[in-house]
Structure 1
Amino acid sequence: MKLSDAAKSWHTDGFAILPAFIPPEELAPVVRDLPSQFPTAEGFHDGTDARRDRFIGDEFAGIDTFPFKSTELSLLAVSERLLELASVLLDDSDFHLYGAESWAKFTGACDYDQDLHRDYLNHSILVPSTTPGCRQVEIFVFLTDVPEDLGPPHLVSRRHTDRLPALPNWFLRPGQVSESRYTDDSGSPELYAAEVSGAGPAGTVIAFEPGTVHRGTGLTAPRGARYSMQVCFRPAQLQWGQRVGWAVRSFSSEWSAFVGRATARQLQALGFPPPGHPYWTAETLAGMALRYPSLDLAPWTRAE
């Protein structure tokens, strides 16, 4: 899919599916590093990996937050391909990564089959907007193949949801009852009938808005494992789109390892001022050299 076609789909449907968008050669170092981040399928299902119990009983227990133990995975979160995609979808060259998570799921660990919902409640202090400059984008990246029996996300086009009010946010499957104002317990047959599968090979990318109705699905493949990453971008000036603050993680060894290998453009997506910004002075450059000894300061020094 061309990026222009992806943008059209994202604007029309609220999502775009780009099969194998990340090529094998760019995924290879990440896949080689995955065992440092998560158990292998064999290690989980054979019970030989001591990290196994962490994943039992809670679908969200398999989430790790950026910066990752694997520097290769951290670099993929702000790879040139993903930055270019975010730039095209947001129609903006100045944008920030406001969330990044890697996620491992294993068949039988727990019930991963979700109800349809929207993500905006924990991605914004406001409600979703389609106004240019006021949109956010979430991106799923499949690190390995995710066929239908390994729990791909299902999504519902805006064509079927554009008249939905901001609340309720969760649309429960039949048989469930809730009195919360955040949930609709009618069964929502029209939404479940309209959902589209995002199944695809390794490297597939699914870009969607926090206001897009979607859900995770269950894993049924025998001895199955699914590895993915979610990254979230917003225009730099869009202050109401929030997930985490990077400063709280910025003195970890994982962060320093990432910074030492990242480009100026990648670091700008994390909030570093671009080359030529008034922030960059002899004083701050000297300080940055002390804080990040492995960071090549040339891009900022040349523009000082």
Structure 2
Amino acid sequence: MRAWQSDGFVILPGFLPAAELTAATKELDLLFPSADGFHDGTDPRRGRFVGDEFAGIDTFPFASTEISLLAVNDRILGLAAALLQDDDVHLYGAEAWAKYTGACDYDQDLHRDYLGHTILVPSTTPGCQQVEMFVFLNDVFEDLGPPHLVSRAHTAHLPAVPNWLLRPGHEGAGRFVGRADPALYDAEVSGAGPAGTVIAFEAGTFHRGTQLRAPGGARYSMHLSFRPSSLHWGHRVGWAMKSYSDEWAEFVHRATPRQLQSLGFPPPGHPYWTPETLAGMALRYPKLDLEPWR
């Protein structure tokens, strides 16, 4: 908690044990080419990932139910609850992301994510914070493009605008783009770590993606976003738009009540749960055990 409060981020190497990653990593091929499949050109999906750093993103619910379940792993939910000081946290964004050496330029300028995560500006007030997480699904050491972050100790004085702080020689336009003090880049901390590493950071924390340089390299990760359930101004996607897909139904059927609560299901004991709604849910999710909500 001390690092979270002082720096605006915390790096937890190997936070998820290997045993809790295995089922998800075995299904990575349902989403992305392997390193070999991309680099030797044998995977027909290769072209999708070339030329655009964000082209490697798949959104929740994933083709792999195991990866969807990992997004709301109990350790992940517990970490979000601890950092946000609230036991009722909601997942408001979840992405799986593949990057490949040489596919494109992944080297970013320092920025904050708040413009895509809230209609307001970041707050350090307890109960008004949001937390994002990078979760590594394979070893991501320095030559595989780990994120770099800058402590709040160096950025707390900076205004909400501009948001992107460019290095010398980089060009950009618009009121959200400005020039960086080179000292900010000197103050970066690398988030490199083994598979299972979790980097938790606030929406107001300056950070950036870095270049993949390992020959034949691939990086697989998740980007998760949580908020207290009562914080209504922080959002990224609406789950209802995806809630009639086969992937969503398979996730719901296998998730626990705690995991479903993080997606917006009312908890057991909530007035929503009546004989009428339970009957309807039994039709919508025929393989879901509704006993916890009865």
Q: TM-score range by the shorter chain?
A: over 0.9
1:188 Cα deviation from its structure 2 partner = 2.2
1:177 aligned counterpart, secondary structure: coil
1:8 Cα deviation from its structure 2 partner = 1.7
Structure 1: which amino acid aligns with 2:136? F
Q: Distance in 2 between matches of 1:232 and 1:180?
A: 26
Q: Which of 160, 182, 187 in structure 2 is aligned with 1:166?
A: 160
Q: Output aligned runs, 1:208-287, within 5 Å.
A: 208-287=201-280
Alignment gaps of 5+ in structure 2:
none
Q: Are residue 55 (structure 1) and residue 32 (structure 2) matched?
A: no
Corresponding residue number in structure 1 for 2:169: 175
Structure 2: which amino acid aligns with 1:282? P
The alignment-based identity, stated in percent, is 71
Q: Distance in 2 between matches of 1:172 and 1:230?
A: 23
Corresponding residue number in structure 2 for 1:3: none
1:29 aligned counterpart, secondary structure: helix
Q: Distance in 2 between matches of 1:160 and 1:292?
A: 49
TM-score if structure 2 supplies the norm length?
0.99
Q: Distance in 1 between matches of 2:37 and 2:148?
A: 28
1:25 aligned counterpart, secondary structure: helix
Q: Distance in 2 between matches of 1:299 and 1:251?
A: 22
Q: Distance in 1 between matches of 2:50 and 2:230?
A: 40
Corresponding residue number in structure 2 for 1:31: 25
TM-score if structure 1 supplies the norm length?
0.96
User: CA RMSD of the aligned region, Å?
Assistant: 0.7
Q: Are residue 206 (structure 1) and residue 199 (structure 2) matched?
A: yes
Structure 1: which amino acid aligns with 2:19? E
Q: Which of 126, 151, 156 in structure 2 is aligned with 1:132?
A: 126
Q: Which of 72, 78, 83 in structure 2 is aligned with 1:84?
A: 78
Q: How many residues in Structure 1 have an aligned counterpart in Structure 2? A: 294
Corresponding residue number in structure 1 for 2:109: 115
Q: Distance in 1 between matches of 2:115 and 2:131?
A: 14
1:179 Cα deviation from its structure 2 partner = 4.1
2:244 aligned counterpart, secondary structure: coil
Structure 2: which amino acid aligns with 1:270? L
Structure 1: which amino acid aligns with 2:6? T
Q: Are residue 10 (structure 1) and residue 8 (structure 2) matched?
A: no
Q: Are residue 189 (structure 1) and residue 182 (structure 2) matched?
A: yes
**Cα distance 1:228–1:271, how it changes in 2: closer, same or farther (>3 A)?**
same
Deviation string for 1:175-225 (max 9, x for gaps)? 12344211113x420110000000000000000001000000000000000
Structure 1: which amino acid aligns with 2:148? H
Q: Distance in 1 between matches of 2:263 and 2:99?
A: 27
